Chain A
Amino acid sequence: MEHNTYREVGKPVRKKDAMQLLLGKPVYMDDITQGPALVVKLLRSPHANALVREVKTAAALKVPGVEAVYTWEDVPKTRFTIAGQTYPEPSPYDRLILDRHVRFVGDPVAIIAAETEKAALRAMKLIKVTYEVLEPVLDFRSAKDNPILVHPEEDWYPPCPVGGDSRRNLVASDVNADGDVEAVLADCEIVLDRTYHTKAFSQAMMETFRTYTELDRYGRLHVISSTQIVFHCRRILSQALGIPKSRIRVEKPRIGGGFGAKQTAVCEVYPAFVTMKTGKPAKLIYTREESQIAGSPRHEMEIHVRLGADRDGRIRGIDLYTLSNSGAYGEHGPTTVGLSGHKSIPLYTENLEAFRFSYDVVYTNLQAAGAYRGYGATQGIYALETTVNELAEQLGMDPTAIRDKNMVKEGMKMPAYYNEPANACALDRCMEHCRQMFHWEEKYPVRDMGNGKVRAAGVAMAMQGSCISNVDVGSATIKLTEDGSYNLIIGAADMGTGCDTILAQMAAECMDCSVEDVAVFGADTDASPYDSGSYASSTTYITGKAVERACADLKAQICAIAAGMLGCEPTEVVFEGKQVRRPDTGETVSLEQIGYKTQVASTQAAEATVSHSSPISPPPFMVGMVEIELDKETGLVTVLDYMAVVDCGLPINPALARIQTEGGIVQGIGHTLMEEVRYDHNGRPIGSSFMQYKLPTRLDMGRLHVEFEHSFEPTGPFGAKSIGEIVINTPAPALTHAIYRATGVWHRELPITPEKIALSRPEPS
């Protein structure tokens, strides 16, 4: 591969914050805001659809220590979205801080601020609300054009034309096609027509949603929040509160996980509103139950696939329709759905003659969905990969061979992926590597263990993107310190993934120094250069490139300063890491001398800021294979081995890339076998604690084995693409496949619980 001689890039460097985290230092929001603050609690609607007739707060306000109780009458009347997206946001402006119309069980009705949690909770009990209960829309299949409107309000506003219509319960709708898919399907020797259903899953990051707000020493609103999107958060708060952005500062400390959940400003507006009204510090920490019932989980989707192929296994046409359930509000609704087609269909570019991808995104009276790692691609890939496995089984072909024949290969243009080129694509090598490592030939045949248990294997491929093309902006500021070290300042948000460290590795590589010589700071809207934030698999690819370019600028500045000190032209000196040298005389100046020079009678800063964006979003690729043991009597699935090979371009930090992959696979196993956000027939959430919403433990994931196939993406920093999201996409289809192999039943709805397996019978073929 190209560039195998890096010193800092491509190394398993320890995360810069690792020992602070492992030794339990106070680095999270609640640890660093220990001064007095009003405790904020939210009274939530018990009804899925209702109008608030009256709120009696007098008794609550008499509770000692209660500062204020706010209702819909107290808040600004301008609608906004809490989706953290680049302006103008694709998500509709359909929220108020508190709305008279409550649209799901858990929608806030009143904000309580008190000196203690106990007083706040006591006050909450004393608030008397009269509701006019309305019939809810709970089934997303009947939401479109339902006479019951989730958003009947006149001031519903879509900032972008995404095909939404609040009079039809539509958040978004579109059709996208290349070629005549009906003609191609009609000409195919075999057409599979399948419908798949994926449920809402909760990110369940260990640190729940939380925000602290205060007025700083300039009287500005200072927000310390567990967020992936400091700049979007500032804009959202400005719009929601009706105050200028210049009066708001948002910073994030260390974040206890996000996985996309914190790409939505789920809880920021409430304490911010309290601080603006009272002038006092305020803190809101969601309970686990609140995080589960009023968070921003994955969109439930129903995906209808028509796939046409010839008997030799050539896949010629794909028609994919997605119905997505956005819940009560439209955050990320118009965009997540796009990935269900645009990041599944291109996997089969090789022989594809035509495709069509259409979708509707609907409102229902359930918890609003949001961004979750994979962002729609996970759902689409589950559906399409399962269809391809069904095709292979129907044709009697090896499912890895059918993929060899049809997968996208390096250099191809991908019509279903905005005609972008596959500049770097090692998917074919990933498949071969995984097949060898997994011993596919031995494990694919079903083995009856003779004790009521069966062993079987399944396979799936995946892709994702690296950034939102032509939208995302990543920036980096790098400056020289007088001892010759550097400060790297970013607006991207390390939520545990280690982006602070990998960006420092890139800076160290560029500046020819060690990672220890690069101090990283982020993210703070007052101090950081603008960055869209950490989402859409963009930080390594976009912010990383900004770091690379900022370093090039800084080097030029350092050389210019050194040339001035040496009395020559900048073109006559070379940068050598710890010093700058003038080759024709042999004279040198050290970085330290240059650093001090910038502090004495200097008119030249040794500091560079670069913003970067990309017209393309190069996909990483991946193959996952799983071996399970299935108990035929109980339906219990035990994951034995999960093996994966990933092409993320060049892994900047192989240890962190591996952990990303392992973590994503385990989340995917959870979604496939046990997790589900559930509601009763009235739309009330059930199973909203970790008692019932079961996350995989270390006993549930079997043995993981992750390896990489390198490719070189010419537009990425050091050839890198992304890793964070793709890794969650293979478990659902691979496990569904293995379960079919073991039982003869295709489960087309997630999760596939032991009960469903035990109660199912093979379809007559």
Chain B
Amino acid sequence: MELKLTLNGRTVADHIEPGLLLIDFLRSHGCFSVKRGCETSNCGLCTVLMDGRPVLSCSMLAARAAGHSIMTLEGLQEEAADFAGFIADQGADQCGFCNPGFVMNTIALLREIPDPTDDEIRAFLAGNLCRCSGYDGQLRGIRRYLDSKKADASPEKGGIHGA
């Protein structure tokens, strides 16, 4: 079947098998950030944004994305880099295999709740598994990022720096 969608801001049209999963479509179109960690919608590694909302690309047919806008980490490098350095400063990237899904969902979180509490962060990202870090370093990184943004917004209070 023919599939036409917007991928990272560019129109993509391709002939696909009807059963093709979105993750496999994306990887075959050069979006190698999208990772498969399970096959059962349990790990969050394959998270991408469809029309701005996080979806699990391992459990969605590519055909369902027809006419929609899909963003992967390849298309959100700057938005990700804005906070990813704070995760790096914690050493919480670790093996990195869960990072793209985690980063994509964090982007969704920060768009939806610009100033989340720790519990809101935990709840929003609960579906993103990480076997290496124990999660706390990821939380600290996000928290430092939010603190640094507040410090930037009110320079008279002095800077609060990451790490």
Contact = CB atoms under 8 A, between A and B. Distances in A.
27 contacts: A12-B163, A15-B88, A17-B93, A18-B87, A21-B93, A22-B85, A23-B80, A24-B72, A26-B33, A28-B35, A30-B32, A31-B32, A254-B95, A255-B95, A257-B97, A257-B132, A288-B39, A659-B134, A659-B137, A662-B134, A662-B136, A663-B132, A689-B39, A697-B129, A698-B122, A698-B126, A701-B136
Given A206-B35, A206-B43, A288-B39, A659 B92 contact: yes
Nearest to A27: B96
Nearest to B81: A23
A620 to B, nearest CB: 18
Contacts of B88: 14-15, 18-19, 22
A206 B32 CA distance: 15
Contact of B99 (A22, A664, A699): A22
B40 A205 contact: no
Interface stretch (A46-54, A65-73, A494-502, A531-539): A494-502
Interface of A: 12, 14-15, 17-28, 30-31, 118, 203-208, 254-259, 287-289, 495-498, 653, 655-656, 658-659, 661-667, 689-691, 695, 697-699, 701, 703-704
Interface residues of B, number: 54
Contact of B40 (A20, A22, A255, A689): A689
Contact of A23 (B73, B95, B123): B73
A697 B99 CA distance: 15
Given A14-B88, A18-B88, A288 B38 contact: yes
Contacts of B100: 24
Interface of B: 17, 27, 32-35, 37-40, 42-43, 45, 72-74, 77, 80-81, 84-85, 87-100, 103, 122-123, 125-139, 163
Given A22-B84, A257-B132, A667-B131, A206 B163 contact: no
Contacts, number: 182
A256 B17 CA distance: 29
Contacts of A24: 32-34, 72-74, 80, 99-100, 103
Contact of B81 (A19, A204, A496, A689): A19
Most buried by B among A204, A258, A659, A691: A659
Contact of B96 (A14, A256, A664, A701): A256
Most buried by B among A25, A255, A698: A698
B129 A206 contact: yes
A496 B43 contact: no
Contact of A498 (B27, B35, B81, B91): B91
A22 B93 contact: yes
Nearest to B129: A695
A663 B40 CA distance: 23
A246 to B, nearest CB: 32
Contacts of B129: 206, 690, 695, 697
Most buried by B among A22, A259, A287, A653: A22
Q: Which 3 A-B pairs have the closest CB atoms?
A: A496-B95, A24-B33, A21-B96
A18 B87 CA distance: 9
B62 to A, nearest CB: 15
Contact of A207 (B80, B97, B139): B97
Contacts of B135: 662, 666, 697-698, 701
A614 to B, nearest CB: 26
Nearest to A256: B97
B84 A23 contact: yes
A695 B99 contact: no
Contact of B163 (A19, A655, A698, A704): A655
Contacts of A704: 134, 136
Contacts of A205: 95, 97, 131
Contacts of A699: 122-123, 126
Most buried by A among B45, B95, B126: B95
A47 B39 CA distance: 24
A206 B134 contact: no
A198 B111 CA distance: 44
A658 B137 contact: yes
B133 A663 contact: yes
Contacts of A257: 94-95, 97, 131-132
A204 B33 CA distance: 20
Contacts of B85: 14, 19, 22
Given A12-B91, A663-B134, A667-B131, A23 B77 contact: yes
A206 B134 CA distance: 13
Nearest to B121: A698
Contacts of B123: 699
A663 B134 CA distance: 4
B39 A14 contact: no
A704 B94 CA distance: 17
A497 B94 contact: yes
Contacts of B87: 18, 22
Nearest to A292: B38
Contacts of A31: 32
B109 to A, nearest CB: 12
Given A23-B73, A257-B97, A701-B135, 6 more contacts: A19-B81, A21-B99, A27-B96, A206-B131, A206-B132, A653-B91
Most buried by A among B17, B73, B90, B138: B90
Nearest to B103: A22
A665 B71 CA distance: 35
Most buried by A among B34, B40, B45: B40
B114 to A, nearest CB: 20
B43 A690 contact: yes
A753 to B, nearest CB: 18
A23 B91 CA distance: 14
A735 to B, nearest CB: 15
B131 A204 contact: yes
B90 A655 contact: yes
Contacts of A662: 133-137
Contacts of A18: 87-88, 91, 93
A666 to B, nearest CB: 4
B95 A495 contact: yes
B133 A659 contact: yes
Given A206-B35, A704-B136, A22 B94 contact: no
A690 B40 contact: yes
A36 to B, nearest CB: 13
Contacts of B134: 659, 661-667, 701, 704
B27 to A, nearest CB: 8
A27 B81 CA distance: 17
Contacts of A258: 95
Contacts of B45: 206
A366 to B, nearest CB: 22
A496 B17 CA distance: 36
B47 to A, nearest CB: 11
Most buried by A among B32, B89, B123: B32
A103 to B, nearest CB: 26
A689 B73 contact: no
A209 to B, nearest CB: 13
A12 B89 contact: yes
Nearest to B119: A699
A659 B132 contact: yes
Contacts of B130: 206, 698
A588 to B, nearest CB: 36
Nearest to B84: A22
A662 B136 CA distance: 7
Nearest to A691: B40
A118 B130 CA distance: 30
B93 A28 contact: no
Contacts of A289: 39
Nearest to A695: B129
